[in-house]
Structure 1
């Protein structure tokens, strides 16, 4: 009887573990115009509070293959977000700038707004609900 009870307990625990509910949306980002395979592409998922102020609420990075990367953010709660990405060509984990303040490394954001001046959250924002999302960001 103990063996049957133990077997049923293991079965129940494994079924519960496999049936865990998804806690949020998955966001897949493709960048296919990276200028070289050197370094990595870094990306951050931001709220209005974190945008242009440091790390995002989720951060990821990827090696570059043939000028392309695919990045994924998982379990994203419903809300308003923006994604910023940069090509960290020298793999120093930060954006490098020229003497005049212009970025030396390629970057892009959701919304693909390429106006002059610093990126704005309003230009890059998007809504996350329960559906998974896919974006293509251009550098």
Structure 2
């Protein structure tokens, strides 16, 4: 199977605006889930903010974005992005997650999410934040 490594940017209430901007620049399609559809530690008033979103374009451009939950600290220069690993193969994602787990802090154990059949998040032993997911087939 194929692994996709995408930049995942972390924003403070303007992820939808960023996704629309990148779509205008690169083309493609937006797929986004607001916090109103996801239980993810968000604060009151974040229902319309983006819990998970992406722009993908036929030319290969791919960026992911979300609005950081109110329950987490946000510092534009301290935690501006995640390294995202994606695949259609759950076994491949499990293997990569397990490999990166050596000496890591697990933030979200692998499990289902509204936007993916399998999702997890960890900080590896070098301080890099990784999000890993199985690419959902949207119809």
Q: TM-score range by the shorter chain?
A: under 0.3
Larger radius of gyration: 1
Higher relative contact order (CA 8 A, sep 6+): 1
TM-score, normalising length from structure 1? 0.28
